[in-house]
């Protein structure tokens, strides 16, 4: 339902923007992103293994063919930039920008700026609005912040670990990530942060000091939650949600309506299924969703890039700490698409671009390992 509402909001927003000069700004941003992606393909040639290029173009070509055959409109930006459009997969070419080490290092600076910006927006909305009386109101205000932070904070928190000067910035980032997960009562986000902390713990030499720090931080966080009405209410709702399975029924209904033959070619841009009294266009498992509307080829190709290569590197190669972190984030991403992190999908949102850049770095290192 949330994905359907998001798409409706985007269409309405784009329709409003079409009435004023903002539409040209939006169009320019799309053109610039596409241009960056296309140029990256050519500038990154010979930097990546052939299998990486083959997988990317297998995704792009099949998605474009699916878009055309199923009736998608190239002149309608709500179609092109929809999660089932071609915009997402054109910008996937951002994986080819990460071979330049000095350029890639700028990502850390950008992520820190993004963390500060989102945290300031969170504080402003918290003072102005609070969290609302029910979860839907909290999601309406904070969902975009929480989803973006859950794919920025773990990487920034882990990658800056070797620099002791950034210790308190790491804690600051983690704190706001946890706060947003709690405000939105999103259990899956809290699991991701927990896995991030566990990864950090097992890559720490002095685990005793780390355990003491975690224990003290956990107690302080718990006291804040229990002694603050807003957060204690969020925690209560989170515990209640944790005891209810909200996805199995949806998946069961979705799977019962799948056409096995259509899974080869995909059901197309306008694919939908009946859930209750409504036609739904999304499901909380992005691998199944991609298989459903785009077919088997994009799923295999994207899984090869995001799961097979990082796992192969983590299991069979001796990696430095930086590469371990990058592979770990991609493993979290694969789990998130499976349903671990709600609202996470292949889309034109900022967090997808960031994941593409991280993925590109891993693919570049993999290409060099195999030389």
More confident residue, 276 or 127: 127
Among 299, 293, 303, which Cα is nearest to 66's? 293
Contacts of 75 (CB under 8 A, 6+ apart): none
Helical (H) or strand (E) element with 169: helix 167-183
pLDDT digits (tens, 9 = 90+) for 143-182: 999 999 999 999 999 999 999 899 899 999 999 999 898 8
At residue 209 the predicted structure's pLDDT band, cuts being 50, 70 and 90, is confident
Q: Which two tokens stand for residue 224?
A: 């804040």
CB 342 within 8 A of CB 289: no
74-83, 171-180, 212-221, 340-349: least confident range: 212-221
Report pTM: 0.86
Most confident of 18-27, 33-42, 106-115, 202-211: 106-115
- What's the pLDDT at 57? 95
What token pair was written down for 60? 């792009």
Mean pLDDT calculated for residue range 234-246:
59
Mean per-residue pLDDT over the chain, rounded: 84
User: What are the pLDDT digits (tens) for 290-337?
Assistant: 999 999 999 999 999 999 999 999 999 889 999 999 999 999 999 999
């Amino acid at each position: 339902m949330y994905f359907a509402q998001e798409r409706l909001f985007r269409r309405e927003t784009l329709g409003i923007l079409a009435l004023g000069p903002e539409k040209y700004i939006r169009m320019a941003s799309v053109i610039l992103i596409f241009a960056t992606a296309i140029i990256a393909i050519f500038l990154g040639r010979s930097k990546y293994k052939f299998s990486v290029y083959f997988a990317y173009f297998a995704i792009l070509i099949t998605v474009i063919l699916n878009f055309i055959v199923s009736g998608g409109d190239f002149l309608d930006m709500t179609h092109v930039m929809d999660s089932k459009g071609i915009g997402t997969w054109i910008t996937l070419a951002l994986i080819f920008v990460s071979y330049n080490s000095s350029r890639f290092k700028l990502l850390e600076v950008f992520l820190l700026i993004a963390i500060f910006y989102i945290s300031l927006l969170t504080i402003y909305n918290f003072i102005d609005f609070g969290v609302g009386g029910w979860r839907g109101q909290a999601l309406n205000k904070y969902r975009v912040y929480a989803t973006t932070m859950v794919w920025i904070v773990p990487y920034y928190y882990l990658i800056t670990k070797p620099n002791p000067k950034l210790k308190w910035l790491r804690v600051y980032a983690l704190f706001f990530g946890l706060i947003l997960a709690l405000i939105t009562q999103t259990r899956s986000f809290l699991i991701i942060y927990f896995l991030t902390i566990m990864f950090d713990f097992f890559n720490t030499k002095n685990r005793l000091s780390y355990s003491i720090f975690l224990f003290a931080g956990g107690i302080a966080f718990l006291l804040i939650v229990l002694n603050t009405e807003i957060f204690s209410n969020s925690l209560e709702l989170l515990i209640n949600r944790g005891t209810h399975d909200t996805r199995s029924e949806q998946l069961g209904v979705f799977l019962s309506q799948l056409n096995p033959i259509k899974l080869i070619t995909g059901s197309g841009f306008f694919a939908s299924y009946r859930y209750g009294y409504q036609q739904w266009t999304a499901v909380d498992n992005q691998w199944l969703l991609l298989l459903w509307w785009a077919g088997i080829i994009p799923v295999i190709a994207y899984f090869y890039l995001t799961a097979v290569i990082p796992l192969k590197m983590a299991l069979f190669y001796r990696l430095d700490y930086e590469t371990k972190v990058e592979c770990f984030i991609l493993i979290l991403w694969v789990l998130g698409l499976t349903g671990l992190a709600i609202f996470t999908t292949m889309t034109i949102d900022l967090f997808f671009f960031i994941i593409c850049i991280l993925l590109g770095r891993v693919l570049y290192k993999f290409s060099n390992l195999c030389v």
